[in-house]
Structure 1
Amino acid sequence: MAVLLLRLAGPMQAWGVKSRFTVRATELAPTKSGVIGMLASAVGRRRTDPIEDLLKLRFGVRKDQPGTVIRDFHTARSLDGKDSMPLSERYYLTDAVFLAGIEGDYALLQGLDEAVKHPVFPLYLGRRSCPPTQPVSLGLRDAPLYDALKEEPWLASPWFRRRRRDSAFNAELLLDRDAVPDDAHTGALRGSRDVPMSFDPRRREYGFRQVERLEVQVTAPADEPSSSADTHDPMADVEEAAQCS
Structure 2
Amino acid sequence: MSVLTLRLAGPLQSWGASARFVRRTTEAAPTKSGVIGVLAAAQGLERGDDTGLARLAALRFGVRIDQPGTRVRDFQTAHHAVTGKSMPLSERFYLADAVFVAAVEGDSALVEELHACLRAPVFLPYLGRRSCPPVLPLELNVRHDVDIEGALREEPWQAARWYQNLRRRDERVPLAVLRETVATDPGADVLRDQPLSFATEHRRHGLRTVVSSGVEVPNPMAARARRAGSRTVPSHEPLVPLEEDAL
Q: Which letter does structure 2 place at the counterpart of 1:194?
A: D
Corresponding residue for residue 153 of structure 2: 150
- Give the ranges of 4+ consecutive aligned residues of structure 1 lying more than 3 Å apart after TM superposition: 78-82, 221-229
1:71 matched residue in structure 2: 73
- What is the CA–CA distance in structure 1 between the aligned matches of 2:82 and 2:208, rounded to whole Å? 42
Higher helix share: 2
Name the residue aligned to 1:239.
none
Contact 2:168 2:225 in 1 (8 A): no
Residues 78/179 of structure 1: CA separation in 2 closer, same or farther (3 Å cut): same
Q: How does 1:189-200 map to 2 (within 5 A)?
A: 189-200=188-199
Structure 2 partner of 1:11: 11
Letter in 2 for 1:28: A
The offset of 1:205, in angstroms, is 1.2
Q: Which residue of 2 aligns with 1:172?
A: 174
How far apart, CA to CA, are the structure 2 residues paired with 1:215 and 1:172? 7
Q: Which digits, 9 at most, give the CA deviation of each residue in 1:83-118, with x for residues without a partner?
A: 311110000000000000000011000000000110
**Is this contact kept in 1: 2:170–2:219, CA < 8 A?**
no
Q: What's the offset of the Cα at 1:120? A: 0.2
- The match for 1:234 is none
Shift of 1:221: 3.8
Q: Which has the larger radius of gyration?
A: 2
In structure 1, what is the Cα distance between the partners aligned to 2:174 and 2:181? 21
Give the residue type in structure 1 aligned to 2:48.
T
The corresponding residue for 1:25 is 25
Letter of the 1:145 partner, please give it: I
Secondary structure at 1:85 match in 2: coil
Distance in 2, Cα, partners of 1:114 & 1:223: 34
Unaligned runs of 5+ in 1: 230-245
Corresponding residue for residue 42 of structure 1: 42
Task: Output the amino acid matched with 2:214.
Answer: E
Q: How far did 1:189 drift?
A: 1.8
Shift of 1:160: 1.0
Query: What do you get for the CA RMSD once the two structures are aligned?
Result: 2.2
CA contact (8 A) 1:14 1:126 kept: yes
User: 2: CA distance between counterparts of 1:28 and 1:76?
Assistant: 26
| DSSP 3-state at the match of 1:202 | helix
Distance apart, 1:141 and its partner CA:
0.8
Percent identity, aligned pairs only, is: 49
Q: Is the 8 A contact 2:165 2:221 kept in 1?
A: no
Q: Secondary structure at the match of 2:28?
A: coil
- TM-superposed CA distance for 1:225, in Å, is 4.4
Contact 1:76 1:86 in 2 (8 A): yes
Gap runs ≥5 in structure 2: 229-247
The verdict on how the C-alpha distance between 1:202 and 1:171 changes in structure 2, with shifts beyond 3 A counting, is same
Aligned partners of 1:20 and 1:156: how far apart in 2? 31
Q: 1:166 to 1:194 in 2, by over 3 A?
A: farther
